Chains A and B, each alone.
Chain A
Amino acid sequence: MKGQGILKGLGVTLKHLIDTYLEDIKAGKDRYYTEEGVRQRMTSDTKGIFTVNYPEERLPLAEAFRFVPFLVYDEEDGEQIVRCTACGICSKVCPSQCIWITRAEDPETGKPLKTPAEFAIDIDLCMNCGYCAEYCPFDAIKMDHDFELAGYERMEANIHLKDRLLKPASYYAEIRPLNYALEQKAKAELAERKAARRAKVD
C-alpha cells in the first residue's frame, strides 16, 4: 500500500516524542539540570530527548580530555617550584610550533639554568594534540580541562605567558586524579630505588 513507508517512519518519530515524556515521568525532576540527569543521557540506554542545555548543563569531561596546556608547579613552604627545566623537548615536538621558551641564565656566569625565564604558548596555533604533555620528561606541562577561553582580542589575550600558564600541582591532581596518582607512585618508587642504591654504596 502506498504511504505505508511514510506512516512507519512517522511512527518512529512519534515514539521518540513519547519516550521523552515517559522518561520525564520516570526520572522526575532529576532529569534536567542535574549531573545524574546529564550522565543518564550519556548511557547506552538513553531514550527520548538527548540535547544538553549548555551552559546550565554540562557534559562531564573525561579525565583524558585535553585542551591548551598549562605548566605545573609544586608548592613547598609557600614557594612555587616550577617543574619545567627548560629542556626544550615540548617546543621541538610541538606540531604547530606554538611554544616559545627562553632558558634562564645565571646573571653572573651567563651559564644556562635549568628553568625557563619565559615560556609562551600561542593558543591560536595550538592544535590541542597533547604531544607536549606526552613527551615532557618532567611532568611539567599538562593538558588542561578549561576550554572556555573566548576573548575580545587575540594579539595579546591569546598568547599565554608563564604567569598565565603556571598552575599548582593540586589543580592537576584535581582534574586528572588517576594520572596524578600513577605519576606520584612512580616517583615514589624511583626515589625509593635511588635511596636503596645509595644505602648500598654507603
Chain B
Amino acid sequence: MSEQTAVINKINQSIINRFPDWVREDEREGYEGLLVEAAHLIPFMEVLRDEFGYDSLTSVTGVDYLPEEKMEVVYHLYKSTGGSILVVKVQVPRSSPVIPSLVGLYPGAAFQEREAWDLLGIRFEGHPNLKRILMWEGFEGHPLRKDWVEAFFEGEFKPYEDRWPEGKVSKIETDKPLGKNINYPEGFNPETWIPDAKELLFQGTVSLKTEDDDPGLETEHLVVNLGPQHPSTHGVFRMVAKLEGETVVDLEPVMGYLHRNHEKIGERNTFSMNMPYTDRLDYFCSMSNNFGYALSVEKLLGEKYQPPERAQYIRVIMAELTRILNHFMAIGFFLNDLGAYFTPALYAIKERELILDIFEAVSGSRMMCNYFRFGGVVRDLPEGIEEHIRKMVYERLPRQIDEMDRYLVDNEIVVSRCQGVGVLTPEQAIAYSAAGPVLRASGVPYDIRRADPYGIYDRFDFDVAVRYHGDVYDRFLIKYDEVRQSIRILQQAIDGLPGGEILANKPAYKFRMPKGESYGRVEGPKGELGFYIVSDGTNNPWRYHVRAPSFINLTGLREMSLGEKIADLVAILGSIDIVLGEVDR
C-alpha cells in the first residue's frame, strides 16, 4: 500500500512541478489528489491528457460542502495503459457553481456532467446539451444538495429516533400524503399540464429541423421513439431516433424512469446500511456491487479491516461467478433481441440458476446477496458448496460455454446482423469513457484486475480478453472470452482456497468512520464499477457516489448508432449490456 502511495505522490509532485501556479495538493485530512483553479481547468486537463497520458476520464461527480459554502467537482482519471487513479478537484463557491465543461476534451464527461447539473446544480459552461438527465424537466431543485429534502422526508440521518423505545408503527404515506410535500416550479401544475406541440413532445431531445436538406423542399425528419416500454430496452428506457429513410441521423437516449436517488438514500444511511442497497444497483450482479462498496469503505477504515485470506478467495470466487452469470444472461438476452426468441435465453438462465443456487446457499438470497462485510464476508461456505463450485467450474461451465459457442456464434443470420455494425474505434471508446467489455471489444486491453489490481487478483493467471473490431459482433464474442478467463480464475481460486477466518474485526453496529475520501473500483461484469465516498467522521457518509458502468457506457451509444439502420439499434443497445437499476440509480 505504502509503495503505491509513494508512486502516486511522485506522480502528483511531477504534475505540481509542471503547474506550480495552478495546482496544489489537496491537504485536507484523509484526502488525496490535486486541487486546480477553475479558470485553468481546461488547459490543465489538456496537458494531463496529452503529456501525462491520462486519456480516460472515468468519473465526474460533485460534492456539496454546505458548511464551507463550497461546491466541489471531483474527476477521476486513469491511463488506458494501466496504473492507479489520479484525482483532480475543482472548488467553486456554492452560490455560483460554474465550471468549464470538459466535454470538448473528454466526450465521456457528457452524461456525467449532466448528472452533476441535474442532481447538484453545478453549471458546466460550454456543455453542448446541459439539461437534466435523471430527473424530469419540470423538477424543482437539485436533490443531492445537502439542504434539499425529499417527499417522504423523515430525518437527516438514519436510524430515525422514533423507532425505539417508543415506536408506533404507521405507514409513511398516511402520515405524509404525497402531493402535499412536493414542490413544483412556479406556474406548473401537473394536473393541468399538457404538452401542446410536437416540438414539446420531443423537447430536449433531438431537433426535428432539416438544416442540410434541399431548401426548396419542405420536409421533416421522422422521429421514432423506441421505448420507454419496449421489450428490447431491458427495462424502462427510451431512445429517440431521428431518421432519414431508415438510417439513423441522430439519437438520444432518455433515462431516469427508474431513478430513486440511490445516492441520496445512501447519504441518509449509515455506512453498513448501504451494503444491501448496493445489491439493487445492477441487480444481476449484487456480489460485484458488494465488492466495490466494501473495497472503498475498507480503504477508509484502514489496515485493521483488511479481509483475511479465506475471505479474499471467497470474494474472488463470488465475483467471478457473478461475471459468468452476467455474461450468460447478456449473451442469452442479446440473442433474444436479435430475434432468437427465448430458447437461447432459457439455456443461459439455466446456468445462471445453478450459480444462483450457490449464492442462495452462501448468502441466503439468490439475487440480493448482501454477502460482503467490511473486513470479509458474512458467512462461510456451507458444507457441500465447495464441491458444487468445483464441479461447476471444472466440468459444467466449460462444457456449457462451448455449447453456447456452437449454438449461435456461427449462425449466418447472427453474423450478418452483427458484423461491422455499431462500430466504436479504440480512440472513441477511450474518449467516451467506455469500460469493461465495451472498451475491450474495441481493442483496448484495459482490465482493472490487471491494470490496477485489487483484492488478490494479482495472484491469478489469466489473460485480458480483447477483440479488435469494436462492432456488435465483437462485443458479443468478448463475453465468451471473458467467461473462459473467469473459469480459469475460478479453478485457481477454488484449488487455492485456504481455511481460516472469513471476517476480520467486524465493525460494531454503530461506528465512526475516519475522516476522508476514498474511491474503490472493481472490474464489474459491465465495466468499471466505482464507489466514491466522502466521510466527515460520523456514522453516515457525507457523499456517496456510484460510478455506474452501464450508465457511462451509454454515452457512446449515439456515436455507435449514427449511420446505422433503425433495426440495428436494438442490436447495438443489446450489445452494450445495460441494467436500468444501475443506469438510473
Binding site for B on A (CB under 8 A): 2-6, 8-9, 11-13, 16, 42, 44-46, 50, 61-66, 86, 88-89, 91-95, 97, 99-103, 112, 118, 120, 122, 124, 127-131, 134-135, 143, 155, 159, 161, 178
| Contact A122–B171 (Cβ < 8 Å) | yes
| Contact A95–B163 (Cβ < 8 Å) | no
Q: Which of B167, B276, B408 contacts A95 (CB 8 A)?
A: B276
Question: Can you list 5 pairs linking A and B with CB atoms under 8 Å apart?
Answer: A2-B412, A5-B414, A91-B159, A92-B164, A120-B167
Q: Which of B354, B382, B413 contacts A6 (CB 8 A)?
A: B413
CB distance from B64 to the nearest CB of A (A): 23
Given contacts A93-B272, A99-B167, 15 further A-B contacts (CB under 8 A): A5-B408, A6-B412, A8-B410, A16-B347, A42-B357, A64-B360, A92-B159, A92-B509, A95-B158, A99-B164, A102-B168, A112-B165, A127-B276, A131-B273, A161-B169
B406: A residues at CB distance < 8 A = 8-9, 11-12
Kindly state the separation between the CA atoms of A170 and B275 in the bound complex, as whole angstroms.
31
Task: Output the nearest chain B residue to A178 by Cβ-Cβ distance.
Answer: B382
| Contact A9–B164 (Cβ < 8 Å) | no
Q: Which chain B residues in 509-562 approach chain A with CB under 8 Å?
A: 509-510
With an 8 A cutoff between CB atoms, is B36 at the interface?
Answer: no
| Contact B363–A9 (Cβ < 8 Å) | no
Binary interface encoding of chain B residues 148-162 relative to chain A, with 1 for a CB under 8 A from any of its CBs, else 0: 000000100011100
Kindly state the separation between the CA atoms of A118 and B158 in the bound complex, as whole angstroms.
21
| Contact A93–B273 (Cβ < 8 Å) | yes
With an 8 A cutoff between CB atoms, is B86 at the interface?
Answer: no
Kindly state the separation between the CA atoms of A9 and B410 in the bound complex, as whole angstroms.
8
Given A50-B350, A65-B365, A95-B273, also A44-B171 (CB < 8 A): no
Q: Which of A95, A122, A131 contacts B169 (CB 8 A)?
A: A122
Q: Which of A12, A66, A118 contacts B167 (CB 8 A)?
A: A118
| Contact A129–B368 (Cβ < 8 Å) | yes
Q: Which of B154, B272, B392, B408 contacts A131 (CB 8 A)?
A: B272
Given A63-B382, A64-B362, A100-B168, also A89-B276 (CB < 8 A): no
| Contact A92–B410 (Cβ < 8 Å) | no
Task: Output the nearest chain B residue to A135 by Cβ-Cβ distance.
Answer: B509
CB distance from B136 to the nearest CB of A (A): 26
| Contact A12–B403 (Cβ < 8 Å) | yes
Binary interface encoding of chain B residues 111-140 relative to chain A, with 1 for a CB under 8 A from any of its CBs, else 0: 000000000000000000000000000000
Q: Which of A2, A12, A124, A127 contacts B368 (CB 8 A)?
A: A127
With an 8 A cutoff between CB atoms, is B567 at the interface?
Answer: no
Kindly state the separation between the CA atoms of A66 and B379 in the bound complex, as whole angstroms.
13
**Interface-central residue, B277, B364, B388, B391, by most chain A CB under 10 Å:** B364
Q: Which of A6, A50, A62, A130 contacts B411 (CB 8 A)?
A: A6
Given A131-B276, A143-B364, also A103-B166 (CB < 8 A): yes
CB distance from A140 to the nearest CB of B (A): 14
8 shortest A-B CB distances, which residue pairs? A100-B167, A5-B410, A88-B164, A120-B169, A129-B276, A95-B273, A64-B364, A103-B165
CB distance from B48 to the nearest CB of A (A): 39
CB distance from A196 to the nearest CB of B (A): 27
Binary interface encoding of chain B residues 389-417 relative to chain A, with 1 for a CB under 8 A from any of its CBs, else 0: 00110011000000100111111111100
With an 8 A cutoff between CB atoms, is B501 at the interface?
Answer: no
| Contact A44–B167 (Cβ < 8 Å) | no
| Contact B509–A93 (Cβ < 8 Å) | yes
Kindly state the separation between the CA atoms of A4 and B415 in the bound complex, as whole angstroms.
12
With an 8 A cutoff between CB atoms, is B442 at the interface?
Answer: no
A16: B residues at CB distance < 8 A = 347
| Contact A97–B159 (Cβ < 8 Å) | yes
Kindly state the separation between the CA atoms of A29 and B287 in the bound complex, as whole angstroms.
38
Kindly state the separation between the CA atoms of A130 and B353 in the bound complex, as whole angstroms.
22
A6: B residues at CB distance < 8 A = 411-413
A93: B residues at CB distance < 8 A = 159, 270, 272-273, 509
Task: Output the nearest chain B residue to A158 by Cβ-Cβ distance.
Answer: B171
B160: A residues at CB distance < 8 A = 97
| Contact A99–B163 (Cβ < 8 Å) | yes
Kindly state the separation between the CA atoms of A97 and B159 in the bound complex, as whole angstroms.
7
CB distance from B232 to the nearest CB of A (A): 21
B167: A residues at CB distance < 8 A = 91, 99-102, 118, 120
Given A3-B412, A42-B357, A64-B364, also A12-B165 (CB < 8 A): no
Kindly state the separation between the CA atoms of A102 and B170 in the bound complex, as whole angstroms.
13
| Contact A91–B410 (Cβ < 8 Å) | no
| Contact B395–A45 (Cβ < 8 Å) | yes
CB distance from A86 to the nearest CB of B (A): 7
B276: A residues at CB distance < 8 A = 95, 127, 129, 131
Kindly state the separation between the CA atoms of A67 and B117 in the bound complex, as whole angstroms.
39
Kindly state the separation between the CA atoms of A129 and B368 in the bound complex, as whole angstroms.
8
Given A93-B273, A94-B159, A101-B165, also A12-B364 (CB < 8 A): no
With an 8 A cutoff between CB atoms, is B229 at the interface?
Answer: no
A118: B residues at CB distance < 8 A = 167, 169
Kindly state the separation between the CA atoms of A6 and B174 in the bound complex, as whole angstroms.
59
| Contact B360–A101 (Cβ < 8 Å) | no
Kindly state the separation between the CA atoms of A122 and B173 in the bound complex, as whole angstroms.
13
CB distance from A157 to the nearest CB of B (A): 12
Binary interface encoding of chain B residues 255-294 relative to chain A, with 1 for a CB under 8 A from any of its CBs, else 0: 0000000000000011011111100000000000000000
Q: Which of B163, B346, B382 contacts A64 (CB 8 A)?
A: B382
| Contact B159–A9 (Cβ < 8 Å) | no
Kindly state the separation between the CA atoms of A102 and B277 in the bound complex, as whole angstroms.
27
Task: Output the nearest chain B residue to A129 by Cβ-Cβ distance.
Answer: B276
| Contact B413–A101 (Cβ < 8 Å) | no
Kindly state the separation between the CA atoms of A193 and B410 in the bound complex, as whole angstroms.
69
| Contact A92–B364 (Cβ < 8 Å) | no
CB distance from B263 to the nearest CB of A (A): 15
| Contact A92–B510 (Cβ < 8 Å) | yes
CB distance from A180 to the nearest CB of B (A): 14
| Contact A64–B273 (Cβ < 8 Å) | no
A64: B residues at CB distance < 8 A = 360-364, 379, 382
Given A42-B357, A44-B354, also A100-B163 (CB < 8 A): yes
| Contact A9–B407 (Cβ < 8 Å) | yes
Q: Which of A44, A101, A127 contacts B388 (CB 8 A)?
A: A44
With an 8 A cutoff between CB atoms, is B223 at the interface?
Answer: no
| Contact A100–B169 (Cβ < 8 Å) | yes
Q: Which of B159, B174, B365 contacts A128 (CB 8 A)?
A: B365
With an 8 A cutoff between CB atoms, is B378 at the interface?
Answer: yes
| Contact B370–A44 (Cβ < 8 Å) | no
A5: B residues at CB distance < 8 A = 408-412, 414-415
CB distance from B373 to the nearest CB of A (A): 9
B277: A residues at CB distance < 8 A = 95
B346: A residues at CB distance < 8 A = 50
| Contact A9–B408 (Cβ < 8 Å) | yes
| Contact A44–B365 (Cβ < 8 Å) | no
Q: Which of A13, A100, A124, A134 contacts B378 (CB 8 A)?
A: A134
